[in-house]
Amino acid sequence: MEEINNIEVVPCTESDYLKPFRVHYNQNGTKKSWDFMRTHDSVSVLIFNTTSHCFVLVKQFRPAVYMCEWEKTKMQPPQSADKTEEGASEAAAAESQEGLSASEGESSSQWPPASAGVTYELCAGLVDKPDLSLEEIARQEVLEECGYDVPASKLKRITSYRSGVGVTGAKQTMFYAEVSDDNCVSAGGGEPREGELIEVVKVPLHEAMTFAYDERIPKTMGVIFSFIWFHNNMSPKYKISTNV
Return the residues of window 166-185 that contact its own copies according to CB under 8 A.
166-172
Q: How many whole angstroms separate alpha carbon 125 and alpha carbon 215?
A: 24
Q: Which residues in the 86-105 window bind its own copies by CB under 8 A? A: 88-89, 92, 99-100
With respect to its own copies, which residue has the nearer C-beta, 65 or 184?
65
Could you tell me which stretch among 133-141, 165-173, 179-187, 198-206 binds its own copies (CB under 8 A)?
165-173
Question: At closest approach, how far in Å is the CB of 100 from its own copies?
Answer: 6
Burial zone of 122 (CB within 10 Å; 0-12 exposed, 13-18 middle, 19+ buried): buried
Q: Which residues in the 101-140 window bind its own copies by CB under 8 A? A: 114, 117, 119, 121, 130-131
Decide if residue 162 touches its own copies (CB under 8 A): yes
Decide if residue 6 touches its own copies (CB under 8 A): yes
Q: Which of 94, 197, 201, 240 binds its own copies (CB under 8 A)?
A: 197
With respect to its own copies, which residue has the nearer C-beta, 117 or 188?
117
Residue 176 and residue 159 in contact, taking contact as beta carbons nearer than 8 Å:
no
Burial zone of 217 (CB within 10 Å; 0-12 exposed, 13-18 middle, 19+ buried): middle
Give, in order, the Cα–Cα distances in Å from 52 to each of 6, 57, 239: 40, 14, 15
Residue 150, Cα to own-chain centre: how many angstroms? 23
With respect to its own copies, which residue has the nearer C-beta, 125 or 179?
125
Radius of gyration of the chain (CA): 21
Helices 88-98 and 63-75 pack at an angle, to 10 degrees, of 130
Could you tell me which stretch among 47-55, 77-85, 138-146, 211-219 binds its own copies (CB under 8 A)?
211-219
